[in-house]
Every structure is written in C-alpha cells, then in structure tokens.
Amino acid sequence: MIKKQEPLTETAYLILLAMLKPNHGYGVMKFVEEKTKGRVVFGPGTLYGAINNLHKKGWIEPCPTKPGERKIEYIITDEGLKRVKEELRRLKEIYEIGVEILKGRGENHDKEI
Amino acid sequence: MIKKFKLFMNPVSDLEKWLNKMSNEGCRLIKAGKVFYYFEECKRNKYVYAVDYVANKSYDELSEYQGFLEELNIRHMEKPANLGKLSIGNVRWRPYADKGARIATSSGMINRELLILEKENDGKAFNIYTNEEDKINALKTMRKPIIVIMAFIGLMLLTNIVDFIPIHRWSFLEINLLAQRRMPMLIVIGIVEVLLLINFIRFTLAINQLKREADIHE
C-alpha cells in the first residue's frame, strides 16, 4: 500500500522553501512576504511555532553558529526536501485538475489568473 | 511619563485593543504592571501592539521565544496577569500549562503571564498567529485556566450547597441559620462562577467559529 501523502500547510511549505538556503526567522518572513507579494505575512507566533515543529520533525536543522551570533539559522534536511517535492507533485495534480475542468467549461483560466 | 490604571474583563484581547487606542492617542507603552501602565508621549500611531498569552510556557521556552522576537525587531514586555492559579507561597501549580511548565515559581513564570509585543506601524495588521490552527490553539490555551478555576469554584459551590440538604438529625431552625450565614458567600461564589462561564462561552464560540473556517481555508 502506498502511504497516504499528508498535504503540507501553506506555512510549512513556504518555510521549507525559504530554508533551501541557510535562513533565520527574519529572513524567512521577508522571503515569504516578497515571494507572495505581501499576500502571506507570518505572525511571529505562527512562524516561531512552525519553525520549532519542523525542527522537531527533522525536516530542518540548525546550522552551526559562529560564536557571538544570536540568530539561529536553519537549513532544510533531505527529509524536508523530499516533503517539499511531494507537495509540489500534489499541488501540480490539483492545479491540473482545476485547469482541465475549467477548460471543459470553455473558460480560459490563464486570463482569469 | 503617564501612569494609567486599567482593569480588563478579558486581559488579552481587551488589553490589545486599549494599547492600540493609546498608540492612536500618541502614547507609547514603557512598562506594564498588574493594573498600572506607564506611557511616554510619541508620534500618533507610531507603534502597533499585540498581546500573547504565555503562562503555559516554561521559563526556557519563553526566553527562547523572546530571543526569536528580538530577531524580528519586535519589542516585548512581560506583564503579570495572574489569572488561574493556586498558590502556596511563591510556588504555583498550573494544571493547565504545558508539560514541564505546571509548577511556576516567582523566579520563573509567576508574573510573566502575558507578553506585550510592539513593532513599528507599517500599516499592516499585527497578528501574532496567522493561520486558523494557531489561532484555535491560542484560544484553547487561554480557555484552559478558565476551565480549571471553574471546576474548583464549582466544587466550592457544590460543597456549600450540600449543606443545605436537610438531613434528618437537623432541626429546621439549624438549617435556616446555616442557610442565612452562608447565603452571602454563596452569592459571591455564584457570581464569580457565572462570570467565568460567560468567558468560557465566549472562548468556546470563538473557537468553534474558527474551526468552521478552518474546514474551508487555511
């Protein structure tokens, strides 16, 4: 039996993408705001909780810090990368379903988006 | 420096609203005590405020969270709120807190129940939690101490009411005397219980509303 894929939340998905390079909380916040053109702005409590959870799950890990450095940088792990790729496949699938159905109704989705 | 006295029925959301109103009037929060707040004058609406409930966290968790907020250029102030506690000396039992944070001491989490967050106003809303699940969890953590106190006070009420039940060996006179003596206390406890119940219902309604939302969107 194929293990059922758990969809990622938008929060987890975006944080994992932001941590493909070593990144800290502030960097993640700016990355997400910029990439979504201000649509998604993480609250500090949400961002803190999500980073902690992803760390506990082993999908991201802290980078070694330089002495005197306060900010903790994290980087995605192999497991985290696997999850992002799975999520990308899932998003592609539901995206394509949407396009197919809308096209069947004679609507041009590209124009609407 | 401006000193203000203020009490809130809901120490989290009402405090947040009031601080933002004060900011709108050109006051910046310097320090927050139990019931006194100290402000200094500043440009109107220069800062926005949000209040987080942190009594469920352990001291280490709180310190870590504070460090994280500093990374994000968010100023934070601790505020005592003392809702929901049973205290013996300066050690308190918090059955509603997270595992490992249930015993609060004065060097640790006593008088650090709320965290006031301040950031420069960038025209956007300042929300601590930005997805439905986090919002629901935040409300649930705030509802927990209410449930605990309600249970304790309910128990007090119950033990007092039990005394009213006539037992054969009591005379009518004795029961009446007992009832008269206990009535004022019963009324006070009863009012507190009703107020708690109102708060409990408010939280529960808000949680259920969010849960319905969470079914459709993140």
**Domains of chain A in sequence order:** 10-83 (1.10.10.10)
Who wins on pLDDT, B164 or B218? B218
> For position B7, what pLDDT does the model report?
87
Closest residue in B to A72 (Cα–Cα):
B68
- How many domains, chain B? 2
The pLDDT of B139-148, averaged and rounded, is: 90
Per-residue confidence band for B88, with pLDDT thresholds at 50, 70 and 90: very low
B110 and B136 belong to one structural domain: no
> For position B86, what pLDDT does the model report?
45
Residue B75 resides in a domain: yes
Residue where a domain terminates, one of B68, B95, B120: B120
Interchain CB contact of B131 with A (< 8 Å):
yes
Residue B148 resides in a domain: yes
B142 and B188 belong to one structural domain: yes
Closest residue in B to A9 (Cα–Cα):
B218
Burial group, residue B83, by CB count within 10 angstroms (0-12, 13-18, 19+):
middle
Q: Name, in order, each residue with C-beta under 8 angstroms of B60's C-beta and a sequence gap of 6 or more.
A: none
Q: How far apart, in whole angstroms, are the C-alpha atoms of residue B183 and residue B192?
A: 14
B155 and B89 belong to one structural domain: no
Residues A51, B142, B76: CA angle, nearest 5 degrees: 55
Interchain CB contact of A48 with B (< 8 Å):
yes
Residue A95 scores a pLDDT above 90: yes
B205 and B106 belong to one structural domain: no
CB < 8 Å from B in window 13-42 of A: 24-26, 29, 40-42
B159 and B210 belong to one structural domain: yes
Residue B85 scores a pLDDT above 60: no
B6 and B109 belong to one structural domain: yes
Residue B203 resides in a domain: yes
Residue B184 resides in a domain: yes
Who wins on pLDDT, B206 or B160? B206
A26/B72 touch (CB, cutoff 8 Å), yes or no: yes
What are the angstrom distances between the C-alpha of B51 and each of B86, B113, B127?
A: 24, 10, 9
> Cα distance from B154 to chain A (closest Cα, Å)?
34
Q: How far apart, in whole angstroms, are the C-alpha atoms of residue B145 and residue B134?
A: 18
B15 and B108 belong to one structural domain: yes
Q: How far apart, in whole angstroms, are the C-alpha atoms of residue B157 and residue B190?
A: 7
Residue B45 scores a pLDDT above 70: yes
What are the angstrom distances between the C-alpha of B41 and each of A61, B2, B170, B173?
A: 43, 8, 66, 64
B81 and B153 belong to one structural domain: no
Which member of B52, B70, B71 has the closest CB to residue A45? B52
Q: How far apart, in whole angstroms, are the C-alpha atoms of residue B48 and residue A74?
A: 29
Chain B residues within 8 A of A29 when measuring between CB atoms: 72
Per-residue confidence band for B125, with pLDDT thresholds at 50, 70 and 90: confident
Residue B28 resides in a domain: yes
Residue B181 resides in a domain: yes
CB < 8 Å from A in window 186-205 of B: none
Share of chain B above pLDDT 70, in %: 79
Instruction: Confirm if B153 and B207 have CB atoms less than 8 A apart.
Output: no
pTM: predicted TM-score of the whole model, two decimal places: 0.83
Who wins on pLDDT, B133 or A66? B133
The pLDDT of A11-15, averaged and rounded, is: 96
B34 and B55 belong to one structural domain: yes
Instruction: Confirm if A25 and B68 have CB atoms less than 8 A apart.
Output: yes
Q: Give the DSSP H/E element, type plus range, for residue B32.
A: strand B27-32
Residue B127 resides in a domain: no
Tokens for B49?
């405020």
Q: How far apart, in whole angstroms, are the C-alpha atoms of residue B199 and residue B9?
A: 9
Encode pLDDT of B153-162 as tens digits.
888 888 777 6
Interchain CB contact of A87 with B (< 8 Å):
no
Q: How far apart, in whole angstroms, are the C-alpha atoms of residue A41 and residue A43?
A: 6
> Cα distance from B55 to chain A (closest Cα, Å)?
14
B129/A43 touch (CB, cutoff 8 Å), yes or no: yes
> For position B145, what pLDDT does the model report?
86
The pLDDT of A20-29, averaged and rounded, is: 94
Interchain CB contact of A106 with B (< 8 Å):
no
CB < 8 Å from A in window 109-128 of B: 117, 124, 126-128
Chain A residues within 8 A of B218 when measuring between CB atoms: 9-11
B145 and B191 belong to one structural domain: yes
Which member of A25, A43, A70 has the closest CB to residue B130? A43
Residue where a domain terminates, one of B120, B149, B178: B120
> Cα distance from B128 to chain A (closest Cα, Å)?
4
Q: How far apart, in whole angstroms, are the C-alpha atoms of residue A16 and residue B110?
A: 36
Residue B99 scores a pLDDT above 60: yes
A49/B134 touch (CB, cutoff 8 Å), yes or no: yes
Residue where a domain terminates, one of B120, B152, B167: B120
Who wins on pLDDT, B81 or B114? B114
B90 and B66 belong to one structural domain: yes
Residue B100 scores a pLDDT above 90: no
A29/B117 touch (CB, cutoff 8 Å), yes or no: no
Range of the domain at B159: 132-216
Tokens for B8?
């809130």
- Tokens 């696997």 map to which residue? A82
Encode pLDDT of A37-85 as tens digits.
999 999 999 999 999 999 999 999 999 877 777 788 999 999 999 999 9
Give the total residue count for chain B. 218
Q: At what angle do helices B59-71 and A44-57 cross, to 10 degrees?
A: 120
Interchain CB contact of B74 with A (< 8 Å):
yes
B11 and B114 belong to one structural domain: yes
Instruction: Confirm if A91 and A17 have CB atoms less than 8 A apart.
Output: no
Who wins on pLDDT, B195 or B82? B195
Chain B residues within 8 A of A45 when measuring between CB atoms: 52, 128-129, 134, 138
Residue B200 resides in a domain: yes
